Amino acid sequence: MTVHAERVEQQLAMPSPPGNYAESAALIDVSSGRLLYSKEGNKRMRVASLTKIMTAIVAIEHGDLKSQVKVSKNAFGKEGSSLFLKLGEEMLLEHMLYGLMLRSGNDAATAIAEHVGGSEEGFVLLMNEKAAELGMTGSHFMNPHGLDHDEHYSTANDMAKLTAYALHNPDFAEIVKTEVKKAPNPNESWDYKWSNKNKMLHLYEGADGVKTGYTKKALRCLVSSATRNGQQLAVVTLNDGNDWNDHGKLLDYGFEHFQLHQLIQEGQAVQGQPLKAGNRFAYALLPAEQALVKNKLVLHKAVEPDLSFGRRGYIELSLHGEVIGRVPVYEEGSLIPKEQQNEEHARETWHQTEKQGFLRSAGIVLRKFLGD
């Protein structure tokens, strides 16, 4: 082996992760969906109120944030953490979602589920549909709040994938980073005032979410996110008695070793072709990996139906022989409709890589991948 090859191999070796007390853990780059670290990441476990990450994103996507949610007998006085909502009380779905995520209200979770899904059971169907859509193969939900149930479980890797997806939604991202929220109280002269239980918002520079969780069987669970220099990371730990410290160390590890690189810019010209990139693409990489990313232009045949708005194919990006993403390309001079442009960006490739040197793919998860 040459000296140069040895140097490259050393640079590509997985950096040693920090020790932690979690039974299961995962670290993910939010923009690209690349899994940067996993410890027993596919182990099925109870996730307590981390469930409410799924509850919130399903409610945001299927519900009207300005609609009124009425507290039913089933939601009123729900066991566990609570907003202490009154029977028959009505509140905007938007405000109830703040109570759900900041104070972990189980009464809010139940009321939201009944409002959006028609019933708690109907909403759980939507939760499991979303899990299947995102490729959360180790997850199954039985309720919207996370109270212990033997058939209600997820994994650290799945929860990382879900969190990265949810943080792309601006309403979700705004809610989980809020430290204090006031909401009208129809029963009293004073407003509701909810302080976020997530101590990471105060403990870690750049922290901007996400959710705490605890039951007697699940023990301490935590998902946190942070943004530095334009890069956002998220950490999941399940059954971790030292979670605040462990999250800080894992976030530091990610920011230190895996920088987010813009590999393609929106509107970038395709060399040797009268084409331009339809959106940007970024990926978290080790220092030596940037030069190893390969691009391949794939053009549609003229008879293929998806040639709207001058779209002519896509650029396929790969690393270590595995596809990490695709970017649509359009004829120069084409005007990409804004709604389509935003949709393309929202569907950036979610590429999971496993712990062993990050060289083996675990899959690409997309909601509707570029319509292909």
From 39, 52, 130, 177, the catalytic residue: 52
Burial class (CB within 10 angstroms; exposed 0-12, middle 13-18, buried 19+) of 364? middle
Q: Is 52 a catalytic residue?
A: yes
How far apart are the C-alpha atoms of 274 and 329, rounded to whole Å?
10
How far apart are the C-alpha atoms of 252 and 233, rounded to whole Å?
10
From 38, 104, 139, 154, the catalytic residue: 104
Q: Is 82 a catalytic residue?
A: no
From 31, 49, 81, 154, the catalytic residue: 49
3-state per-residue secondary structure call for the chain:
CCHHHHHHHHHHCCCCCCCCCCCEEEEEECCCCCEEEEECCCCCECCHHHHHHHHHHHHHHHCCCCCEEECCCCCCCCCCCCCCCCCCCEEEHHHHHHHHHHHCCHHHHHHHHHHHHCCHHHHHHHHHHHHHHCCCCCCECCCCCCCCCCCCEECHHHHHHHHHHHHCCHHHHHHHHCCEEEECCCCCCCCEEEECCCCHHHHCCCEEEEEEEEECCCEEEEEEEEEECCEEEEEEEECCCCHHHHHHHHHHHHHHHCEEEEEECCCCECCCCCEEECCCEEEEECHHHHHHCEEEEEECCCCCCCCHHHEEEEEEEEECCEEEEEEEEEECCCCCCHHHHHHHHHCCCEEEECCCCCCCEEEEECCCCCCC
Q: Is 177 a catalytic residue?
A: no
Catalytic residue list: 49, 52, 104
